[in-house]
Structure 1
Amino acid sequence: MARPRSEEKRLALLNAAAETVAEHGLAASPTSLIAKKAGVAEGTLFRYFPTKDDLLNELYLHLKQDMCEAMKKHYTATAASPLRERAQSLWNSYIDWGLAHPLANKAVNQLAVSSSLTPETLAKAQAMFPEAVAETELSGNQVFAGQTDFADAVFLALADTTMAFAARHPRKAKAYKASGFEAMWKMFNDD
Structure 2
Amino acid sequence: MNVQSETRKNMDKRQQILEATADLIAEQGLHSCPMAMVAKHACCGAGTIYRYFETKEELVQQLFLHLTEVMASHCMAGYDESACIKKRFYSFWGNFYRYMREHPRDRALMEQLSASPAISELQREKALEPMNKALTRLLAEGKSQMLIKDLPDEIITTMTFGSLTMMAKKQQLSPQMFPQAVQAEDLLNLCWDAIKA
Instruction: State the TM-score, normalized to the length of structure 2.
Output: 0.75
The match for 1:161 among 166, 177, 184 is 166
Which position in structure 2 is the counterpart of 1:44? 48
Which position in structure 2 is the counterpart of 1:96? 98
- Secondary structure at the residue paired with 1:97? helix
Deviations 1:147-174 (A, max 9, x none): x4x7655444312222135553596232
Which position in structure 2 is the counterpart of 1:23? 27
- Correspondence 1:134 to 2:141: no
Contact persistence 2:75–2:95 (CA under 8 A): yes
Aligned mates of 2:86, 2:32 — CA distance in 1: 40
Aligned mates of 1:32, 1:152 — CA distance in 2: 38
Which position in structure 2 is the counterpart of 1:172? 181
Contact persistence 2:26–2:106 (CA under 8 A): yes
Question: What are structure 2's unaligned runs of at least 5 residues?
Answer: 1-5, 144-148
What one-letter code is carried by the residue in structure 2 that aligns with 1:94?
F
The match for 1:72 among 76, 80, 98 is 76
Which position in structure 1 is the counterpart of 2:3? none
Range with greater deviation from structure 2 (100-109 or 115-124):
115-124
- Correspondence 1:114 to 2:123: no
Deviations 1:48-89 (A, max 9, x none): 1111111111001111111222233343xx223232221111
> Are residues 170 and 110 of structure 1, via their aligned partners in 2, closer, same or farther at CA, if it must alter by over 3 Å?
farther
Aligned mates of 1:166, 1:173 — CA distance in 2: 8
Contact persistence 1:71–1:93 (CA under 8 A): yes
Aligned mates of 1:160, 1:63 — CA distance in 2: 15
Question: What are structure 1's unaligned runs of at least 5 residues?
Answer: none
- Correspondence 1:60 to 2:69: no
Instruction: State the TM-score, normalized to the length of structure 1.
Output: 0.77
What one-letter code is carried by the residue in structure 1 that aligns with 2:27?
E
